Amino acid sequence: MTQTTNKKFAWTFFLGTLLGTLFSTTAAFAEPTATEAICQVCRVHEGETEAEPVLASATHEGTTYGFCSESCRDRFLEAPAAYVPPELPRPAPTFSVRDLEGENVSSEELAGRVVLLDFWATWCPPCIADLPELSAIHERYKESGVSIVSLSIDEGEDAHRKVSRMVKKRKTTHPVYLDASESPAWAAYLVRAVPAQFLIDATGNIVAQWTGQTDLKEVEAEIVRLLESDGSQDSPNG
């Protein structure tokens, strides 16, 4: 296991512990009702889309979920709302973050625009690799009412230095903010692993989301479809 993977799992464990205190849960152990199922924990953390043998189960809000291991079931029980398949569309939580100059930035400033929220960290190689292309997408569509916004989940006294250095190194041109308040955006969005991206339409609803390493061409295609479905906005290619 690499150092990056260790750090990622350390962060994931922290999220699970904290989210368990932020959100009440009605999840409980259950007897398996199927022999195979997509493990929802592996789906979030590893991008798993194939059914696996069910070795443990739990219920949440009347639905029974199967897992590939007891450890995955236990992670699910810590914060089930972060693992159940997302309901789309749904209202996007509001948030307040800080820019690299230390000024507060509210999600209200993005009202009326199509927004791609990108949760990332300086210790996450896939996140870092995405930054230049996210900037390119931002430049292509910003005049069409699209904003690409990256929220760093880095913590500690040196978070600002690390993020600023990475932004400069990767020649990032889209907005990058620090998400380290007492009520962080990652908690409101139930982020369990990075990178994590949420596409929000101009009316403030989450219409698509991705967790883990994602083909940004797919993300861009969703942005274009969203623009084309809005008669008041045109894609650069249209």
Q: Rounded distance, CA 122 to CA 134, Å?
A: 15
Please list, in sequence order, all residues whose beta carbon lies within 8 angstroms of the beta carbon of residue 59, skipping any fewer than 6 positions away: 27, 28, 30, 65
When the pLDDT of each residue in the chain is averaged and rounded to a whole number, the result is: 86
pLDDT tier at 237, thresholds 50, 70, 90: low
> Where do we find the tokens 């992670």?
75
Q: Rounded distance, CA 119 to CA 130, Å?
A: 11
> Where do we find the tokens 């040196």?
158
Percentage of the chain modeled with pLDDT above 70? 83
What pLDDT, on a 0 to 100 scale, did the predictor assign at position 231?
58
CATH number of 90-228: 3.40.30.10
CB atoms within 10 A of CB 226: 20
> Where do we find the tokens 């889209």?
174
Cβ proximity of 154 and 8 under 8 Å: no
Q: How many residues does the chain have?
A: 238
Cβ proximity of 196 and 211 under 8 Å: yes
The full set of domain ranges for the chain reads: 17-82, 90-228
pLDDT higher than 80, residue 11? no
CA 224: distance to chain centroid? 20
Among 120, 48, 126, which residue's Cα sits nearest to residue 83? Answer: 48
* pLDDT tens-digit readout, 170-213: 999 999 999 988 899 999 999 988 999 999 999 999 999 998 88
pLDDT tier at 27, thresholds 50, 70, 90: low
Q: Rounded distance, CA 227 to CA 182, Å?
A: 34
Burial class (CB in 10 A: 0-12, 13-18, 19+), 174: buried
Percentage of the chain modeled with pLDDT above 90? 69
* pLDDT tens-digit readout, 58-97: 999 889 999 999 999 999 998 888 888 888 999 999 999 9
Q: Rounded distance, CA 223 to CA 237, Å?
A: 12
